[in-house]
Amino acid sequence: MVRAAGGARSPAAGADTALEERLRLVAGAVPDPELPVLTLTELGVLRAVRLLGPGRVEVDLTPTYTGCPAVEVMAADIERALHEHGVPEVTVRSVLAPAWSTDDITDEGRRKLAAFGIAPPRTGPATGPVTVPLGPTHTRSAHPRTDPTDLPPVACPLCGSTDTELLSRFSSTACKALRRCRACAEPFDHFKEL
C-alpha cells in the first residue's frame, strides 16, 4: 500500500505495488517464534508492508495480545528476512488497532495447528468481550457454567473427540490453554479464542 507523506493514502495509489506484494510474501513467510508451524501471515499478525522510498520499507505488525514477548523476535526476524532480500532500511511498527483476534488466523493456519496437535480456536456466534469465568479449572468442555459461550466444544486434535476437559486456563504460552481428551486420555494445547 503506497502512502503519501504524513501517512495519508495517495490519491493515485491503488493496491500494493508488485514490489510491496513480494516483500509482503517475504515478511509473511517468517515463522511465529512460539508456534513455528505457522507463518506470520497464517497467524494473521502481519498487517501491512509499505515501500517508503528506495531501500526503505515499513511493516505493520499487530501482537496477539498487548505485551506479547514474541513481538520483538517477530520484528527482528522480519527485519532479517527483508535485509536478506535486499532492503537496507526496515522499520517494524507495532499496531494495536484494529486489535488482533483469533478470527485473523487463516484456514491454513487452523489446519496446521490441528496437524501439529494444537486445537485451533473455535469459531462461532460469540462476539463482544472475551469472558474469563472464575471457578474450577478442571472442567468438561462446553460445560454451561464454565463455558458460557455459544461456541462448539473443543475437539481433540489427536482423535477428534469433543469429550474434552480443561486442565488449566494457561499452557506453554499465555494464548493457549491445557486440555485433556477424555476419549484418548491425551493432553493437548488449545489456542484460546480472542
Please give the pLDDT value at position 160: 94
d(CA 81, CA 41): 14
Nearest Cα residue to 37 out of 90, 98, 121, 108:
108
The alpha helices in the chain, defined as continuous H runs, are: 18-28, 40-43, 70-84, 107-115
- Helix H or strand E segment including 51: strand 46-53
Q: Give the per-residue pLDDT at 14.
A: 47
CA distance 37 to 118: 10
- Every domain of the chain and the residues it spans: 5-94, 105-191
**At 12, is the pLDDT very low, low, confident or very high (cuts 50, 70, 90)?**
very low
Candidate from 48-52, 83-87, 103-107, 150-154 with smallest mean pLDDT: 150-154
What confidence tier does 149 reach under pLDDT thresholds 50, 70, 90? low
DSSP helix/strand/coil, 46:
strand
Question: 106-131: per-residue pLDDT in tens?
Answer: 999 999 999 999 999 998 655 555 55
Rounded mean pLDDT of 21-46?
96
> Which pTM was predicted?
0.77
pLDDT tens by residue, 58-88: 999 999 987 888 999 999 999 999 999 999 9
Q: Which three cell numbers stand for residue 90?
A: 526496515
The fold adopted by the segment(s) 5-94 is: GMP Synthetase; Chain A, domain 3 (3.30.300)
Residue partners of 53: CB distance under 8 A and separation at least 6: none
Among the listed residues 191, 193, 194, 192, the one whose alpha carbon sits nearest the alpha carbon of residue 35: 191
Task: State mean pLDDT over 161-167.
Answer: 94
49 pLDDT more than 70 = yes
* pLDDT value of position 38: 96
